[in-house]
Amino acid sequence: MIDRRLVEYFDWWMLSLTVIIAGIGLVVVYSAVTASADSHLAGLFSRQLIWYAAGMVLMIASFVVNYKVFERWGHLVYLFSILLLVAVIFFGKYVGGSKRWLVLGPFSVQPSEMVKLAVIIMLAKYYSRIVRTEGIRLREMIAPVVITIIPFGLIVRQPDLGTAGLVALIAASMTLYIKIERRTLIGLFTTGALSIPAVWVFLKGYQKQRILTFLNPERDPLGAGYHIIQSKIAIGSGMITGKGFLKGSQNTLEFLPEQHTDFIFSVLAEEWGFVGTIFTLMVFLLIVIWGLQIAQRSRDPFGTILAVGITSMIGLQVAINIGMVMGLMPVVGVTLPFISYGGSSVITMMIGVGLLLNVSMRRFMFEK
């Protein structure tokens, strides 16, 4: 029998915000794949509808089951995600020079998207058992580093530096939230700063090119800088109210690269202008604020840290994608949550929201 308090405590605000942003995403994806003259994009909107339907089912499953189950079996979820990343090495499909996809019948999945949730669950499980007021010590950082660096290394190998960096940033956000001893924090920041020159040496040529292009897009306007230049043109041409639905010239004339995935925010900005982009950003902001509110209201350490991790995943991904298409950050191939086309991204985000709803609706279990 269903506990009546689960219905009473159900978070309708978070669900409503998710439905709104998903609706915006479907409208923009429809425009990106329908208005474009690229015949290869035909049928992608129908697939996106299927992914959202699957995402809704998985979101419901994610909040129906008590989230403490994920704490109990978090190590198996993590291990399964690592096995999928290893499977990509042997059975993955190359797309655009990267080996990131596993083909499952008529669909392809990207395990690196889903591993973000696995890392969040595993870190939440670990941190919830050692968290204390004075902060965690250096030796207690060994396990979180190992938990993060294994998927990080496997994702970099694909190569997918954007998603790998996102996994590291999510882990860093969760770690800062639970508090680190001052000496440990200073040591970690110093080590990170000193390792930057070494990281540059190991970057691939195209990755270095992306960073140099970020610093000066005009240095190669017909090559590496083309994406950023066309994206800025699309965003700027939208002005206040935009050119209108299906009327964005950068999209219809195929000047925008990857207009249905990485650069979909440019399509939104061109067609709906400043008004549409501000509305979308406000919805994202409310999702992040409400996610942090869920974390604050939870009286269970695992639930709190889990909510912080999922909220940071959404917020960081929004910030990186929009910064990328506006030329404020290097192009790293990070999608815009709930809006960019892609089944793996949609399902990951919907499961994430399901877990947030789960923590929110079961907070009564820990109230005194």
pLDDT in tens, 169-206: 999 999 989 888 777 777 777 877 777 676 666 666 66
Mean pLDDT of the chain: 85
Percentage with pLDDT > 90 across the chain = 51
- Which pLDDT belongs to residue 52? 95
- Give me the mean pLDDT over the 320-340 stretch: 87
Percentage with pLDDT > 70 across the chain = 85
Element containing residue 290 per DSSP (H, E):
helix 264-297
Q: Which two tokens stand for residue 332?
A: 């790293």
Distance in angstroms (rounded) separating the CA atoms of residues 200 and 212: 12
Binning pLDDT at 50, 70 and 90, where does residue 249 land? confident
> 37-41, 73-77, 289-293, 338-342 — which is least confidently predicted?
37-41
Range of the domain at 62: 4-366
Q: How many domains does the chain have?
A: 1
pLDDT score of 37 more than 70 = no
Dihedral pair phi/psi, residue 247, rounded to 5°? -115, 15
- Which pLDDT belongs to residue 224? 53
What tens digit of pLDDT does each residue of 217-227 get?
A: 655 555 556 77
Burial class (CB in 10 A: 0-12, 13-18, 19+), 323: middle
Q: Which two tokens stand for residue 307?
A: 């909510």
Place of tokens 């949609």: 346
Q: Cis check for the bond before 159: say yes or no (omega within 30 of 0).
A: yes
> 8-22, 101-115, 214-228, 320-334 — which is least confidently predicted?
214-228
- Identify the residue with better confidence: 265 or 106: 265
- Give me the mean pLDDT over the 324-344 stretch: 87
pTM for this predicted structure = 0.90
Distance in angstroms (rounded) separating the CA atoms of residues 20 and 270: 20
What tens digit of pLDDT does each residue of 82-91 get?
A: 999 999 988 8
355, 357, 360, 366: CA torsion to nearest 10: -50
- Give me the mean pLDDT over the 130-153 stretch: 86
- Which pLDDT belongs to residue 259? 79
- Which pLDDT belongs to residue 101? 86
| Residue 56 falls in which region: left (phi positive, over 0), alpha (psi -120 to 50) or beta | alpha
